Every structure is written in structure tokens, then in C-alpha cells.
């Protein structure tokens, strides 16, 4: 099918990004078919309580997504290489049981609060809330049963040349310790140019904190194919947030200049990963929040590029969020077997989570994550693929 450049640009504009914001073009790679079709639903598995979990398959502009109603999990994300050969570039499992038993958030939606809140505790409007603690003393990714472990209502759509899914979840007042009934909608859109856009929206009926993100583990050579240390990464950030031993930010916005944390120019992930910087020793690699130079923006702006030189597959990320958690898969330890039947070892994937800074509810100097009744939390992240 012929790609109409004007339609591509119109669709990027509809997505609220300047067509140039991500560089490259939004056109599908050579050999990649571009066909937006209505998403298809199939039964994927059944939870212990009898709830059925479905898998939705959708495709557009050479990008193919498989999404579970459980956790809004991206179970598979296929994109072409420079020869048009597609591979699944997102770590995952082929069975629901594996996701339930032991997933380190593979492909999942994260809420209510991405990353850590110290001691699982914060004070808002004079009231202290105790959250579910599930990572040493701290609360990680929303607590013991975060949004990654909820069954979402999924609604497919086709809109112009876009195809997508709207996922809805209501988290009741007090859920995992968080105040307020939070109504969340996350929209996954595949554009005709093959971009994957995530729109997050939430409202509350009591003051609360919220920080939603997506936890795809990327390996642009294909999941299960080995280490991502040769991938080249660029992050538009001159500062990052160093942490204590529990990976809670100390509050400092440290300069990346002269440290292994400097990704302002693209470099292989593995180049400085063994540099022995005390922050890397704490995290067993990279597991930090980068303070994006652009700050919070009204529209998504380009903030990071990941490229696998061997296949040519390239991911450009744009967001309106102020932070990016770059996690180099440090805790993958060879105990999990992925979709293609191969085990995942340390550094076999990396996560690039657009977000507010970790522990913001306890760090008055960080941008606020407070959401009040009458307000709508709304953020967007755009993934552009090319090869
Ligand atoms: C965190 C890591 C954590 C991982 C869970 C990442 O977002 O930064 O510290 O281990 O999620 O697999």
C-alpha cells in the first residue's frame, strides 16, 4: 500500500507532535506492509479467580502489537529491520501463568506511581498515607498489586488511518494505600506511519499522587537474542538523580558530564557500564532517572534514541514528561524463559520509562505529581520506529 506523506504528517499532527520532533520519517521501513486493521481479540488465559484474559492484536505501518487485558501488557511488539525482516523487540512470556507468577513488569502499564516512593509513605494536605511496600522498605510501581496486575477493560478503535486500544481501569479509594478513586484510561495508538503512541489520562475524587508509565523491555535485535550492550543510546539530559542504596533519589540533580551517565551523544550502552562509578555499583548498572533538559512540555519532544547498529532498528522517543528512567535490565538473572523459549540474562534488554521523578511526593523540589479533583492528568509518549 502506498504511503501518503500528507496523511502521515496529518496523523503525527493529530498526535500532537511536530512532524520534525522525532526526526527521521514516519514512513514504514522498506518491505513493511502498511495496513491498519481493526484489532482482533482472542482468549489468552484465565486467572485463578475465573477472570478471562484476552489478547488483542493490531498492526499498522509495519508495526505489530499484541496487548493483554491483564496489566495492559505489551506481549509482543514487532518492527522491521533495514531489510524488512520483522522481530519481536519486547521481552515477554507466551503464557498468562508466567506473567502472574514471576514477571518483572515485562511490557506492563505501571500505576498508580511509576518507580519508588520512600518507605511507601507520603504526606499530602497534612495527612500521611501508608502505601503497600513491596521493594525492601519502599513502594515500587504502585505496590504489591499495581496496575500491571489488574485486568483492564479494553475497547478497540479505528480512527482515520490510526488503529488502537483504549484501556480503562478504576482504582478504588484506598487501593494500595493511595487516596481517591482514580479513573485511568490509557490509549495505545498505532499510526499509519508505524508510530506507537501512548496517551495516559486519569481523574480523581480526592487529592492524590499519580505517575503512570510503560515498562517495555527493549531489545531491538529481538527478544532472547542476547545482550543490549551494543545498542547505542542517546538521552537529552545533562543531569540525573543519584540514589541511595534503596534506589531512592537523594534529591541532588547531579551533572552527567564526565561520568558514565553522560548519554548526551549516542554511545553503546556497554561502553561505560563497568566503569565502577559508585552509583552504578549501587544499581548493578544503570537504574536511574535522567532529568530531561526540556523539562515538562505542553507537547511531546524528542528525548532519547535507541539504535541497534546490526539490524538498523531505531527507536526515537518523544514525551511531555520531565524524566526518563533508564534501567539496563540489571536484575534479569537467567531464571526467566521468554516468549521464544530462550532465557533472559542480565543486560538482555533495557527499559526507557518516561515519567515524573521517583519519590516526588517526598521531594518538594521535584516537579509535583499531585492530582486534585476537577483536574485531568494527561500525558503522552510517542515511539517512532525506523530502520
Ligand atoms: C526499576 C528497577 C526495577 C525494575 C523492575 C524499573 O523501573 O527502576 O529498579 O528493578 O523496574 O523490574
What is the per-residue pLDDT for 36?
A: 66
Test site for ligand 1: of 102, 138, 331, most ligand atoms within 8 A of the Cβ: 331
- The model's pLDDT over 201-237, given as tens digits with 9 standing for 90+, comes to 999 999 999 999 999 999 999 999 999 999 999 999 9
For residue 273, the tally of other CB atoms under 10 A from its CB is 17
Q: What is the value of pTM for the model shown?
A: 0.92
> Is residue 204 within 8 Å of residue 184, measured between CB atoms?
no
Residue partners of 356: CB distance under 8 A and separation at least 6: 114, 211, 321, 322, 323, 366, 367, 369
Q: Which residue has the CA at smallest separation from atom 9 of ligand 1?
A: 287
What is the per-residue pLDDT for 37?
A: 76
Q: Hey, which residues are catalytic here?
A: 215, 353
Q: Give the Cα separation of 210 and 320 in Å (integer).
A: 15
The answer, yes or no, to whether any atom of ligand 1 lies below 6 A from the CB of 104, is: yes
pLDDT level of residue 23 (50, 70, 90 thresholds): low
The answer, yes or no, to whether any atom of ligand 1 lies below 6 A from the CB of 327, is: yes
The conformational region for residue 247 under phi > 0 = left, psi -120 to 50 = alpha, else beta, is left
What is the per-residue pLDDT for 35?
A: 56
7 pLDDT above the threshold of 80: no
Structural domain 7-386, CATH architecture:
Distorted Sandwich (2.70)
- The model's pLDDT over 61-98, given as tens digits with 9 standing for 90+, comes to 999 999 999 999 999 999 999 999 999 999 999 999 99
pLDDT level of residue 21 (50, 70, 90 thresholds): low
End-to-end CA distance of the chain: 19
pLDDT level of residue 40 (50, 70, 90 thresholds): very high
Cell of 234: 542517546
Rounded to the nearest whole angstrom, what is the distance from the C-alpha of residue 115 to the centroid of ligand 1?
Answer: 7
What is the per-residue pLDDT for 166?
A: 98
Q: Which residue has the CA at smallest separation from atom 4 of ligand 1?
A: 104
Atom of ligand 1 nearest to the CA of 327: 8
In the chain, where the domains are located: 7-386
Q: Give the Cα separation of 122 and 117 in Å (integer).
A: 8
Q: Give the Cα separation of 53 and 306 in Å (integer).
A: 32
What is the pLDDT averaged over residues 14-26? Answer: 47
- The model's pLDDT over 297-310, given as tens digits with 9 standing for 90+, comes to 999 999 999 999 99
Q: Residue 92: name the closest of 77, 70, 80, 112 by CA.
A: 77
- The model's pLDDT over 329-356, given as tens digits with 9 standing for 90+, comes to 999 999 999 999 999 999 999 999 999 9
Test site for ligand 1: of 141, 245, 288, 359, most ligand atoms within 8 A of the Cβ: 141
Pick from 37-41, 243-247, 312-316, 343-347: least confident: 37-41
Specify burial of residue 122 (Cβ count, 10 A radius: 0-12, 13-18, 19+): buried
For residue 181, the tally of other CB atoms under 10 A from its CB is 17
Amino acid at each position: 500500500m502506498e504511503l501518503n506523506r500528507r496523511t502521515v504528517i496529518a496523523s503525527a499532527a493529530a498526535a500532537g507532535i511536530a512532524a520534525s520532533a522525532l526526526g527521521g520519517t514516519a514512513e514504514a521501513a522498506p518491505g513493511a506492509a502498511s495496513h491498519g486493521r481493526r484489532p482482533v481479540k482472542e482468549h489468552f488465559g484465565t486467572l485463578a479467580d475465573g477472570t478471562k484474559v484476552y489478547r488483542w492484536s493490531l498492526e499498522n505501518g509495519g508495526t505489530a502489537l499484541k496487548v493483554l487485558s491483564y496489566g495492559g501488557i505489551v506481549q509482543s511488539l514487532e518492527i522491521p529491520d533495514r531489510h524488512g525482516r520483522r522481530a519481536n523487540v519486547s521481552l515477554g512470556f507466551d503464557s498468562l501463568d508466567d506473567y502472574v507468577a514471576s514477571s518483572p513488569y515485562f511490557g506492563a502499564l505501571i500505576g498508580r506511581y511509576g518507580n519508588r516512593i520512600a518507605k511507601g509513605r507520603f504526606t499530602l494536605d497534612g495527612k500521611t498515607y501508608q502505601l503497600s511496600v513491596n521493594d525492601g522498605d519502599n513502594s515500587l510501581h504502585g505496590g504489591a498489586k499495581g496496575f500491571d496486575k489488574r485486568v483492564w477493560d479494553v475497547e478497540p478503535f479505528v480512527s482515520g488511518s490510526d488503529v488502537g486500544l483504549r484501556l480503562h481501569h478504576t482504582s478504588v479509594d484506598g487501593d494500595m494505600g493511595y487516596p481517591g478513586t482514580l479513573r485511568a484510561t490509557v490509549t495505545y495508538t498505532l499510526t499509519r506511519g508505524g508510530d506507537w503512541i501512548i496517551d495516559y489520562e486519569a481523574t480523581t475524587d480526592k487529592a492524590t499522587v499519580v505517575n503512570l508509565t510503560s515498562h517495555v523491555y527493549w531489545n531491538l535485535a529481538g527478544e532472547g537474542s542476547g545482550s543490549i550492550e551494543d545498542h547505542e543510546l542517546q538521552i537529552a539530559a545533562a543531569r540525573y538523580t543519584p540514589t541511595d542504596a534503596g534506589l531512592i533519589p537523594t534529591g541532588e540533580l547531579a551533572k552527567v558530564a564526565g561520568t558514565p551517565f553522560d548519554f548526551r551523544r549516542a554511545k553503546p550502552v556497554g561502553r561505560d557500564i563497568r566503569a565502577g562509578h559508585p552509583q552504578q555499583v549501587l544499581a548493578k548498572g544503570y537504574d536511574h532517572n535522567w532529568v530531561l533538559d526540556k523539562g515538562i512540555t505542553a507537547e511531546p519532544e524528542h528525548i532519547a534514541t535507541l539504535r541497534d547498529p546490526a539490524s538498523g532498528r531505531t527507536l526515537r522517543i518523544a514525551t511531555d514528561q520531565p524524566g526518563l528512567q533508564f534501567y539496563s535490565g540489571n536484575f534479569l538473572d537467567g531464571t526467566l524463559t521468554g516468549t521464544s523459549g530462550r532465557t533472559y540474562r542480565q543486560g538482555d534488554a533495557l527499559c526507557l520509562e518516561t515519567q515524573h521523578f521517583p519519590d516526588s511526593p517526598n521531594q518538594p523540589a521535584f516537579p509535583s505529581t499531585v492530582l486534585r479533583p476537577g483536574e485531568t492528568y494527561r500525558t503522552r509518549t510517542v515511539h517512532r520506529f525506523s530502520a
